[in-house]
Amino acid sequence: MVVSLRRRTQATNPRSDLPRSLAVDSDSELDTVCEECSSGKQPAKLLLCDKCDKGFHLFCLRPILVSVPKGSWFCPSCSQHQIPKSFPLVQTKLIDFFRIKRGPDSTSPESCIGKKRKRTSLVMSKKKRKLLPYIPTVDPQRRLEQMASLATALRASSTEFRNELTYVSGKAPRSANKAVLEKGGMQVLGKQDAEALALCKNMMDRGECPPLMVVFDPYEGFTVEADRCIKDLTIITEYVGDVDYLSNREDDYDGDSMMTLLHASDPLQCLVICPDKRSNIARFISGINNHTPEGRKKQNLKCVRFNINGEARVLLVANRDISKGERLYYDYNGYEHEYPTEHFV
C-alpha cells in the first residue's frame, strides 16, 4: 500500500540516516494508525517499520523508544524479537570479557572502610553520613551469574565493558573535564567517600561485582534488580561511557542514555557521558516517569556529580534501603528537566 503523504523520503528529511517516521502536521487526518493503540494521533512519534510499513508510536513499543533510532528500524514481528542469548556461564570467558585481574585474596568492604574512623555519637544527621561501598555476594557461583547477566546485556547492545570514563579521538579530550567549570560549583568527594569509591573499583577489577542482576523485561527492556539487600547511601556504580561535548550531541536523536557530566556556564564547555559504545551496568538502570507520583515513588537511586581530583564524575547511589529483588530506578533529569520521561512505565 502506498501512503506517500506519510513516507519520510530521503529528499525531504534532513536526517537521512534515520528510519521513517510520519512527516506530517500534527493536525492532519491519518489512515495509518499505531498497531498497539489504534490511534493516528501524535504522528511525529509514529514510527513506520521498514519492512511491513505498519506504524507504532514510540511510547507504545515495549520497550519504549524515547526517540527515533538511527538506521533502519523493524517492528517486533519483523525483527523476530526474542529474549537475548545468555552469555556462557564459564569463568574463563567472564574473566576475559570483564578483564578481571587475578590477585591476592580479596578483603571485605567492612574491613577496608572505617579502620581509622573515630567513634562519634550515634545520633547523626543524614547530611553527615558517608557513602558506603557495595557488599558483593559471598557465593562465587552467584557472582558468576550476576556478571553473566551483565555480559548478556552488553553483548546484546553491542557495548564494550568499561568501568571508567573514556576519552576517544574526535570527542572531548580529558583536559576538557574540569570540575571547576561547573556552573554554581560542584561538591568535592571527601577522603573517606573517595576510599569507598576506590574500593568499589578494586572489587570490580577482581571480579567482585555489585550484588545486581540484569534481567530482560519484554515491557521495559534490560533492567537491573538488587540481588541482595542494599543499604541507603551505598555506591551502586559510576556512570561511565565516552565523554563528549554536548554541542556535538544536540542532534543525536538516539542519545537516550546520555548523562550530563559538566554543566558549564559556557554551553561550548558542557560535557555529556555517552554509554552507547562503552559502558558498565549503569547503562541498564531504568529511569522513572517523574511526571507521576507513582513513578517518583519507585526511585531508589540518586545521581550525584562529584569533583574528584579536579575532574567531574557521576555516581549512582542508593537513596534509601533497597530490598532484594527490587528493581533499580533513578531520575534521569537533574535540575535541567530536559529529558522526556512522560511515557516511561
Convert the pLDDT of each residue in 97-146 to its tens digit: 999 987 655 555 654 544 444 444 434 444 567 999 999 999 999 999 99
User: pLDDT digits over 267-324, tens only?
Assistant: 999 999 999 999 999 999 988 766 677 767 889 999 999 999 999 999 999 999 999 9
* Cα 285 from chain centroid (whole Å): 5
Q: Residue 42 phi/psi, 5° resolution? A: 50, 60
pLDDT at position 164: 97
47 vs 4, higher pLDDT: 47
Say what the pLDDT of residue 110 is.
Answer: 52
Answer whether 265's CB lies under 8 Å from 183's CB: yes
Q: How high does pLDDT run on average in the chain? A: 80
Q: What is the distance of C-alpha 233 from the center of its chain?
A: 19
Per-residue exposure over 84-119, b if at least 16 CB sit within 10 Å of its own CB, e if not:
eeebeeebeebeebbebeeeeeeeebeebbeeeeee
- The pLDDT of 206-235, averaged and rounded, is 92
Highest-confidence segment of 116-120, 210-214, 328-332: 210-214
Q: Are 316 and 329 in contact (CB under 8 A)?
A: no
What kind of fold does domain 91-99+132-330 have according to CATH?
Beta-clip-like (2.170.270)
Burial 44-61 (b: 16+ CB within 10 A, else e): ebbbbbeeebebbbbbbb
Q: What is the pLDDT of residue 58?
A: 84
Amino acid 14 reads P
Residue 266's pLDDT band (cuts 50, 70, 90): very high
Is the CB of residue 215 less than 8 Å from the CB of residue 149? yes
pLDDT average, residue stretch 218-230? 89
Helix/strand/coil for 286: strand
DSSP, residue by residue, 62-116? SS--SSPPSS----HHHHT--PPPPPP--HHHHHHHHTPPP-SPP--HHHHSSTT
pLDDT in tens, 169-208: 999 999 999 999 999 889 999 999 999 999 999 999 999 9
Cα–Cα distance, 278 to 164 (Å, whole number): 9
User: CA 165, CA 271: separation in Å to the nearest integer?
Assistant: 12
Q: Look at residues 277, 278, 285 and name the one whose alpha carbon lies nearest to residue 315.
A: 285
Using CA atoms, how far apart are residues 188 and 194, in angstroms rounded to an integer? 10
**What fold characterizes domain 32-81?**
Herpes Virus-1 (3.30.40)
- Nearest of 266, 342, 263 to residue 307 by alpha carbon: 263
Each domain of the chain, given as residue ranges in start order, spans: 32-81, 91-99+132-330
> How many C-beta atoms surround the C-beta of residue 2 within 10 A?
6
In which band, very low, low, confident or very high, does the pLDDT at 57 lie, cut at 50, 70 and 90?
A: confident
Instruction: Using CB atoms within 10 Å of the CB of residue 254, give its burial: 0 to 12 exposed, 13 to 18 middle, 19+ buried.
Output: middle
Phi, psi dihedral angles at 230 (to 5 degrees): -120, 130
Residue 81 pLDDT? 56
In this prediction, residue 108 carries a pLDDT of 55
**Confidence at 41, pLDDT banded by 50, 70, 90:** confident
Under 8 Å between Cβ of 257 and 284? no
Instruction: Report the pLDDT value the prediction gives residue 208, as an integer from 0 to 100.
Output: 95
Cβ neighbours for 169, distance < 8 A, ≥ 6 positions apart:
none
- The predicted structure's pLDDT at residue 272: 94
Is the pLDDT score of 24 beyond 50?
A: no
pTM to 2 decimals? Answer: 0.74
What pairing do the DSSP bridges indicate for beta strands 271-274 and 242-245?
antiparallel
- Cell 506517500 belongs to which residue? 4
Residue 262 has pLDDT above 60, yes or no: yes
